[in-house]
Amino acid sequence: MATVQKTSASSKTQGPSWNGAVPAAATAVVKRIEGFFSAPYDDNGALPGGTWTIGYGSIVDTNGHPVSPATPPITEAEAQQWLRRDMEGAARDVKLRVKVALLECEAAALISWTYNLGAGSLGKSTLLTRINANHKADVPGEIRKWIHHEGKPLVGLLRRRWAEAAIFVGLDATNACVRAWKEIDNLNDWPPFA
At residue 48, the pLDDT reads 57
pLDDT classification of 2: cutoffs 50, 70, 90? very low
Residue 33 in contact with residue 83, Cβ under 8 Å?
no
- The pTM assigned to this predicted structure is 0.90
Residue 191 belongs to a domain: no
pLDDT tens column, 55-88: 999 999 999 999 999 999 999 999 999 999 999 9
* Entry field: residues in the chain: 194
Range of the domain at 60: 3-183
What is residue 8's predicted lDDT score, i.e. its pLDDT?
Answer: 41
- Say how many domains are in the chain: 1
More confident call, 77 vs 1: 77
Which residue, 115, 55, 54, is CA-closest to 90?
A: 115
- Nearest to 173, CA basis, from 113, 117, 91: 113
153 is a domain residue:
yes
DSSP state of 20: S
Cβ contact 170:15 at 8 Å: yes
| Span 20-63, pLDDT tens digits | 999 999 999 999 999 999 999 988 765 556 789 999 999 999 99
- Cα dihedral 107, 148, 138, 126 sign: positive
Residue 74 maps to a domain: yes
Is residue 86 assigned to a domain? Answer: yes
Examine residue 79 and state whether it is found in any structural domain, yes or no. Answer: yes
Instruction: Write the pLDDT tens digit of every residue in 176-189.
Output: 999 999 999 999 99
Find, among 12, 2, 18, the residue nearest to 101 by Cα.
18
Residue 99 sits in a domain whose CATH number is: 1.10.530.40
Give the pLDDT of residue 47: 53
In a domain? residue 189? no
